[in-house]
Structure 1
């Protein structure tokens, strides 16, 4: 009997992941439901059914693999960011700043009005600022998205993630880990994390292409080289307690502008990226407990609606000034709805320091699982409505007419 139970423990995670992948494939083909939404729902069900049964060692092992999958997606998003476009069209960074700041303010005020403590409201607001690069990028690649809405959504996501990481670190430093309540010291600590993470990612962005040139395979072996480098980068940030989000984004950004390209066949990092994506979206949902979702469901739903309204309103209001129609601006706001993976990764980082935000912030758990399942569908529908999905009959994917002309990167 003990041998049978041991065998069941060892096979539970692989079998659950396999079933989640199969369900994702079937529902995507039969009902056009984004695969990652299915992975997340399966992970939520599995995590709660198996709670207290599976040894924690298995979860720890899968956590590292999930972080690697997230790092690969962040790298790819960073690789697709065009700094020249941001300089030419300053309304893009202004839009990101406005929608992030107003989202923070709106979520904070609604939380306080509903009786949430000031510190908890600040944490909820900081996490609500960001969009999830993983959720957005997987849907874009799955749908073959290309065009104005697609490009703007990626750029806005990259910028609001950077802002959210800084605000979240400062908030945690002040309210959770700083007994003195020294705002200046906590702000400085946030800046140090921001600078150190970005600097580490930039160093990888310079050194890895240099290695590629030295060995003489700058294009043929780029996919494997960058995958190994991202794995090392994620491990270093994990050990040093830096931000893997900023480090991986910066790595991809610098590598792009060093003109080293991935093979055209390796978007999503090929089969490795697809496998890790299943694991990532499945695993993050297993960390959310159903009773926390139930307890904070109504407030979590309200905060998600407030967040959505603010982002859509800001993107719509700044659309014409930034060179697109109000309709495409609104669709851009809808496309950046994913937030679950980013939120849960940030929460897992605080767990390593002894604080479980899901235990104290029930609305956060509800927001995470709702966004995990519903947000990818909204992104998919936004791309279809903008006619930028290759899965849409009338779509016409192509290069973004707003972006300055330059040599096309394979992964971009």
Structure 2
């Protein structure tokens, strides 16, 4: 990586001029370049399919209705095959090694994505982005619904621990990115905003997969939800800071954060209101209520995409609003169907394929590991020192359990990098590679925490199938 052009303090990059009206909306996914990996694999694929092409062309001479032999496999077919591979790898790791399934999904996406084998192209990933948004949105909705603000207000020790963890994590990461790595203040703040929070989707799925119940598990989910909320606020502020650093028009620095926050709140409030009004007409805990909850969430995803508002923030706020405003308990006992695991496969396969491994260097790898160490120490120390009715050992387990860093970090990084692509891509490589490492280590750490706390149901993996 050339840090001279990456937004470091040591060399101020050339002035980046960015046309606001030309900025890509959130309906497009700014993925890393494929580093010609797809081009390298095309000759290999053509060689494998050459005999089939010859036979097909021979048949065409007699069967005139046959279509021309495809020059390349259909992107949807390839992606479907990737999902099957991701499912099998995740189930195998779970059954044989006891690893969280999420790791298998990410590994499959990384292996077959643009950065490595290139079997799934950037264009195919862009086409599948709406499904990934829907998957992340539904998981963020569920995290938001589990955020009990009343319980937090009544538990001062828990509130102190939360504020300490959020503040110390952001400060430590910012100082590391700015003072050690040498990023400019704006991009160091962006790196801290992206990596300060835990990964809500990973934490939720890992806790559910482990059948974990208890104080440690509940606090892991609560701290994850709160740190995600804090990171979203910081994210909006950082968007303005980046604009102030590089845009000639100060209006961008003010209007864009307001657009992000106000737009997300308005969409979330309207969709939550619609969900409650319609669900009130239906039997509680019925399949119809589940359908309404999912349908309004997908409507929120589509509306957020149209208005270039972050999907993860909108759906999280929708969940919080539903949890806080549903006084009649209309949807309180309506849960997402088990099918959200299928969406999780899509989400983490896409995230794994989106990681820019072709830009990896040993320097950025060591810097990413350093950031993760600083982040881990900050989180564990903040919770260990917070005090409260939970023992120190169990508070440390909570700190370990909130280490995952995944989909939201990747999506936030690309969202910010898309503002000024000439500078943002290289400047945000640090948090992206930190997320890439924690894609694999994070679920294992979360599972270790809930297992060590003794809050998981015993399972016999030897009796489970591969799929």
Q: Same fold (TM over 0.5)?
A: yes
The answer as to 2:238 corresponding to 1:238 is: no
In 2 relative to 1, CA 245–7 (structure 1 residues): closer, same or farther, beyond 3 Å? Answer: closer
Correspondence 1:73-92 to 2 at 5 A: 73-92=139-158
1:155 equivalent in structure 2? 222
Cα offset, 1:312, TM superposition: 0.6
Residue 64 of structure 1: which of 110, 114, 130 is its match? Answer: 130
2:331 equivalent in structure 1? 261
Q: Take 1:109 and 1:159, find their aligned partners in 2: how far apart are those partners?
A: 22
Q: Take 2:426 and 2:267, find their aligned partners in 1: how far apart are those partners?
A: 32
1:206 equivalent in structure 2? 273
Cα offset, 1:217, TM superposition: 3.2
The answer as to 2:370 corresponding to 1:306 is: no
Q: Take 1:115 and 1:379, find their aligned partners in 2: how far apart are those partners?
A: 28
Correspondence 1:283-294 to 2 at 5 A: 283-294=350-361
1:362 equivalent in structure 2? 429
CA RMSD of aligned residues (A): 2.5
Residue 143 of structure 1: which of 173, 195, 210 is its match? Answer: 210
In 2 relative to 1, CA 251–222 (structure 1 residues): closer, same or farther, beyond 3 Å? Answer: same
Deviations 1:171-228 (A, max 9, x none): 23222476458989736743552243123213322221111123x3342122221111
Cα offset, 1:143, TM superposition: 0.6
In 2 relative to 1, CA 138–188 (structure 1 residues): closer, same or farther, beyond 3 Å? Answer: same
Residue 315 of structure 1: which of 383, 390, 393 is its match? Answer: 383
Structure 2 gap segments, 5+ residues each: 1-52, 54-67, 461-467
Q: Take 1:115 and 1:250, find their aligned partners in 2: how far apart are those partners?
A: 33
2:253 equivalent in structure 1? 186
2:415 equivalent in structure 1? 349
Cα offset, 1:316, TM superposition: 0.9
Residue 14 of structure 1: which of 67, 77, 80 is its match? Answer: 80
Larger radius of gyration: 2
1:326 equivalent in structure 2? 392
Structure 1 gap segments, 5+ residues each: 394-412
Q: Take 1:240 and 1:155, find their aligned partners in 2: how far apart are those partners?
A: 29
TM-score, normalization by structure 1: 0.86
2:44 equivalent in structure 1? none
1:38 equivalent in structure 2? 104
Q: Take 1:352 and 1:64, find their aligned partners in 2: how far apart are those partners?
A: 18
Q: Take 1:124 and 1:179, find their aligned partners in 2: how far apart are those partners?
A: 17
State how many pairs are aligned.
386
Instruction: Say if 2:217 and 2:398, in contact at 8 Å, map to a contact too.
Output: yes
TM-score, normalization by structure 2: 0.77
Instruction: Say if 2:197 and 2:227, in contact at 8 Å, map to a contact too.
Output: yes
In 2 relative to 1, CA 92–292 (structure 1 residues): closer, same or farther, beyond 3 Å? Answer: farther
The answer as to 2:264 corresponding to 1:197 is: yes
